[in-house]
A and B are shown apart, each in its own frame.
Chain A
Amino acid sequence: MTGRAAVSEASGEALLEARDLVKDYGDFRALDGVSLSIDEGEFVSIIGPNGAGKSTLVNLLTGVLQPTAGAVRFKGRDIHGIGPVALARRGMARSFQLVHVFPDLTVQETLEAAVVSRLGRGARLFAALAADREVKDGALEIAELFRLGDKRQALSRQLPQGDKKLLDVASAFALRPEIILLDEPTSGVSTADKAAIMEILVGASRRIGLRAIIQVEHDMDIVFGYSDRIVALHQGKVLADATPSRLRADQDVVDTVIGRRRGNP
């Protein structure tokens, strides 16, 4: 993403756009008028303390939840509440905060499932999967991009945590989406592994032609190190939406987000 020329859409419309999103859970207003737009070629990080509404925003952006008010548009089309399956078909993929793998499937099978889905072959009842070269090669390619090549026969439930995270992200990449939303891609992972995962991510996104990445992240080093733009949420509202350098200069935001207010060290 960084180092790639930003090419705006011909119509000027953003790739993914949220307009005045409001989400209420009963009396509790989780999001209060959040707007943001993601353009071609951007790597955007969403940050904010717990309870700021990040998960809600993520679920709204990925069509899992219906907004109480406002709209979410992906490639110019409304996507609110269309559900993850339809969204994946339209070109948006996501990974999860709590690692989601298929416990009893191998790495290879997990990636093959994603490729099968991408190629629309999920309804083939009598074709032999083992004979499908395209699926096998597609899975192999992603496995190698994510340095899981030699672990392809490993059972997902037996993988170390870091590899599970990688597999979760890798399978989302295997869909060759146009835009991907990563929910805390480095959480629960040791610091040494974090940098490795980010490097893999950036490399893989170049290879598969990803048009934009959105991530929710807590680790500020990662956020400031990789993002083109940072969106800071606070209590359901957008506190700031700027490049890393501009944001660093805004002490208020830094304080709120990193929680230095009220005398916290």
Chain B
Amino acid sequence: MTGARVLAVAALALLAAPPVLPTYYTLLLLPFMAYAVVLLGLNLLFAYAGLLSFGHALFIGLGAYTGAFLTTHTPVRALEVILLAAAVAGAAVAALVGALCVRYVKIYFGMLTLAFGMVFYTFLLKFYRLTGGDEGMRVLRPTLLGMDIGAMPKTDYLAGPYYYYSLAVLALATVVMWRVVRSPFGLCLRTVRDNPAKAEALGIGVTRNRWIAFVISGVYAAVGGALLGPPIGNVDPTLAYWTQSGNIVFMTLLGGFSHFFGPVVGAFAFIFLQDTVMSVVPYWRLIFGAILAAIVIFAPGGLMGLAARVRPIEASRS
């Protein structure tokens, strides 16, 4: 099966899920879609720019809390506004944080992003008058495209309109990222990843391109974070904790960062594997840790790397 056909099948499967699958699994697809959006952005930074951020949970938390704040403290209920606000907040914070971080590489970049992530986490945790502290903030049901569906039972709402809305956001996010990655900017970004000195010699600005990638990834993470809120109905500081940043990197690696759809596959695998494992035994971390170790040692290309017989050219790390 060619890549395009697999994609078509997957898309159809996602479209058909709500009426076909048991509601439990349909609801499980919601965080998958949210994380998939986050990961599309993270992978731009990781696979295409060559920068590993260990603080991206900051943006997830930022987006999630934006949604919570808007629905509980303002009359805003439209999901469109929430997502837009999350995107703007993500862009603003990423612009600032990114400007500071992208001048550094490798471990220093990782450490800086980790520190910023933990600053935000501490802020969320400690300033409880504003953020609700460790109990977090509630997220009230957003309206979708102006439709007031407040009367619908929660499960019907989530497994129905909200599901398709999320799917549409994911589809849009995917298309946009696909364009970005295949644009002249995407090519320049990869030159910066592969050989910054040579890129500069060709007149390609290293810091500038990294910064743009950072901002885009921040926007994506914030939008994904905003989508996470409504199904749970509550957001709390753990969304911004450093282990959350580690988990999303794990998802990326699980799926295979070298392939455009790798991280999305990783999110899917992670969510469903976690659910399966947790239903048997609560020690999912033990098993996941072992899986991560196995991937790092034996299959650094992730699931996509195992599946694809031809090594993808577009993005990789030596």
Binding site for B on A (CB under 8 A): 83-85, 88-89, 93-96, 100-106, 109-110, 112-114, 116-118, 121-130, 132, 135, 155, 157, 168, 171-172, 174-175
Contact = CB atoms under 8 A, between A and B. Distances in A.
Contacts of A121: 184
Contact of B184 (A95, A122, A157, A171): A122
Interface of B: 176, 179-180, 182-188, 190-191, 193-195, 197-206, 209, 212, 313, 315-318
5 contacts: A88-B201, A96-B201, A102-B198, A105-B190, A125-B180
Contact of A85 (B193, B194, B204): B204
Contact of B182 (A85, A95, A130): A130
Contacts of B197: 84, 96, 100
Contacts of B185: 122-125
B237 to A, nearest CB: 33
A128 B182 CA distance: 6
Given A84-B200, A85-B203, A102-B190, A124 B313 contact: no
Contacts of B183: 124-129
Closest 10 pairs (CB-CB, A-B): A88-B203, A102-B194, A100-B198, A84-B200, A117-B203, A116-B184, A122-B188, A121-B184, A124-B184, A125-B185
A127 B205 CA distance: 19
Contacts of B203: 84-85, 88-89, 117-118, 175
A174 to B, nearest CB: 8
Contacts of B205: 85, 122
Nearest to B258: A104
B150 to A, nearest CB: 37
Report whether over half of chain B's contact residues are helix, strand or loop; otherwise say mixed.
helix
B195 A127 contact: no
Given A100-B195, A102-B195, A126-B179, A112 B202 contact: no
Contacts of B182: 128-130
A132 B187 CA distance: 13
A87 to B, nearest CB: 8
Given A102-B190, A122-B209, A126-B179, A172 B184 contact: no
Contacts of A102: 190-191, 194-195, 198-199
A83 B200 contact: yes
Contacts of A114: 202
Given A89-B203, A102-B190, A129 B184 contact: yes
Contact of B187 (A88, A112, A155): A112
B191 A88 contact: no
A93 B201 contact: yes
Contacts of A84: 197, 200-201, 203
Contacts of A105: 187, 190-191, 194
Contacts of A122: 184-185, 188, 204-205, 209
Contacts of B209: 122
Contact of B313 (A89, A116, A123, A155): A155
Interface centre among B190, B203, B206, B317 (most CB of A within 10 A): B203
Interface centre among B191, B201, B204, B313 (most CB of A within 10 A): B201
A172 B191 contact: no
A107 B185 CA distance: 18
Contacts of A100: 195, 197-198, 201
Given A101-B198, A102-B198, A113-B199, 20 more contacts: A84-B197, A96-B201, A100-B198, A105-B194, A109-B190, A112-B187, A113-B187, A114-B202, A116-B184, A117-B202, A121-B184, A122-B184, A122-B185, A123-B185, A125-B180, A126-B183, A128-B182, A130-B182, A135-B184, A172-B202
B191 A113 contact: yes
B318 A113 contact: no
Nearest to B201: A84
A112 B191 CA distance: 11
A83 to B, nearest CB: 7
Contacts of A132: 184
Given A100-B197, A101-B195, A103-B318, A88 B186 contact: no
Nearest to A181: B201
Nearest to A130: B182
Contacts of A110: 191
Given A88-B203, A96-B201, A175-B202, A103 B184 contact: no
A45 B20 CA distance: 74
Given A89-B203, A103-B318, A129 B194 contact: no
Contacts of B186: 129
